[in-house]
């Protein structure tokens, strides 16, 4: 069902209860800067199909009547929409408060555009003088620019007493990865967050990606990242990483954590047993923008 309100058009469809207030806000505009659009066949319903796609955050019908969908899974670095009075049309998926549904606003200028994705995270658009821009990372996730050109979005979740395989699954369930670390700067942010959890005691830690893989034995310095986007080993400098290799009972410590180590000031990363759960307080999830 389509309802027209001057420059606003709200597309209503049946959705699961958790998404019952998610709507498409349609207005004349142009996508000025963006990447990775998916072109849709012109005979398909450009806006309704985006609305029904949980991963689609915006649809764009240009002046040539070509339809493009922008999915958050493409992880674009920037999307800028200019509010124009021309033939092209933009439809942004957003949550509409119940009180606004009953009053039917006549313009989209007063609306906050925020979209909830299946993981429960949100993406928010920022109002600009001539339109809107999309924050590249999910709301509350922290952005880091890496020396290899990657931009990553990271988030720390407090989850107690899980091992490294469970930490990986936790992040995958949130459409992210257990993240590796590429710089001391990243580990400082993670470590500061760990220190804010009271009462933190020695060896309390957050899981990060990274696992030691040795050709022979287990006392080597070859750390493999499995998140798909971490390539640098800068953060594993001896001044930032305490490699103990084995426990006091000679059990291999092959996985990495951000750890509270008061007897080793300045050290942020520690190796522990991949199956350890007793001192783990959380996980650091992340993804790279494309």
Q: Is residue 9 part of a domain?
A: no
What is the span of the domain harbouring residue 239? Answer: 142-289
Asked whether the predicted pLDDT for residue 17 surpasses 60, the reply is: no
- The least confident of 7-16, 21-30, 66-75, 123-132 is 7-16
- Average pLDDT score over residue span 285-290: 92
Same domain, 170 and 279: yes
Can you give the pLDDT at residue 143? 95
Q: Is residue 4 part of a domain?
A: no
* Each residue's pLDDT tens digit, 239-252: 999 999 998 888 89
Which among 67, 99, 134 is the end of a domain? 134
Asked whether the predicted pLDDT for residue 5 surpasses 60, the reply is: no
Same domain, 245 and 210: yes
Same domain, 35 and 70: yes
Same domain, 239 and 259: yes
Tokens 């991949």 — which residue? 274
The count of structural domains within the chain is: 2
Q: What is the CATH number of the domain that holds 182?
A: 3.10.100.10
Q: Is residue 3 part of a domain?
A: no
* Each residue's pLDDT tens digit, 257-280: 999 999 998 999 999 999 999 999
pLDDT bucket at 160, cuts 50 / 70 / 90: very high
Asked whether the predicted pLDDT for residue 75 surpasses 60, the reply is: yes
Q: Report how far residue 114's alpha carbon sits from residue 45's, in angstroms, rounded to the nearest whole number.
A: 23
Same domain, 42 and 160: no
pLDDT bucket at 20, cuts 50 / 70 / 90: very low
* Each residue's pLDDT tens digit, 196-205: 998 889 999 9
Same domain, 193 and 127: no
- Portion of the chain with pLDDT greater than 70, in percent: 87
List of residues 6+ apart from 222 with CB closer than 8 A: 212, 213, 214, 215
Can you give the pLDDT at residue 41? 77
Same domain, 282 and 149: yes
Same domain, 284 and 178: yes
């Amino acid at each position: 069902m389509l309802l027209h309100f001057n420059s606003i058009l709200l597309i209503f469809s049946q959705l699961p209860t958790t998404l019952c207030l998610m709507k498409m806000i349609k207005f004349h505009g142009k996508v000025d800067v963006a990447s990775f659009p998916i072109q849709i066949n012109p005979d398909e319903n450009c806006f309704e199909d985006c609305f029904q796609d949980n991963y689609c955050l915006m649809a764009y019908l240009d002046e040539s009547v070509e339809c493009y969908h922008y999915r958050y899974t493409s992880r674009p670095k920037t999307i800028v929409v200019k509010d124009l009075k021309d033939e092209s049309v933009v439809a942004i998926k957003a949550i509409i408060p119940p009180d606004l549904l009953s009053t039917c606003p006549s313009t989209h200028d007063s609306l906050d555009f925020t979209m909830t994705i299946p993981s429960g995270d949100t993406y928010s658009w920022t109002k600009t003088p001539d339109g809107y821009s999309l924050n590249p990372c999910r709301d509350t996730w922290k952005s880091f620019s890496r020396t290899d050109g990657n931009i990553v979005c990271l988030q720390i979740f407090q989850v107690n007493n899980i091992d490294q395989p469970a930490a990986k699954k936790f992040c995958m369930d949130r459409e992210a990865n257990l993240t590796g670390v590429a710089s001391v700067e990243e580990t400082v942010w993670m470590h500061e967050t760990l220190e804010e959890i009271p009462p933190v005691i020695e060896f309390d830690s957050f899981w990060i990606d990274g696992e030691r893989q040795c050709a022979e034995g287990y006392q080597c310095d070859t750390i493999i990242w499995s998140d798909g986007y971490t390539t640098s080993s800068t953060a594993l400098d001896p001044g930032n990483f305490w490699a103990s290799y084995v426990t006091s009972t000679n059990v291999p410590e092959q996985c990495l954590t951000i750890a509270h180590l008061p007897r080793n000031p300045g050290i942020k990363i520690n190796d522990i047993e991949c199956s350890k759960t007793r001192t783990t307080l959380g996980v650091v999830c992340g993804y790279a923008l494309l």
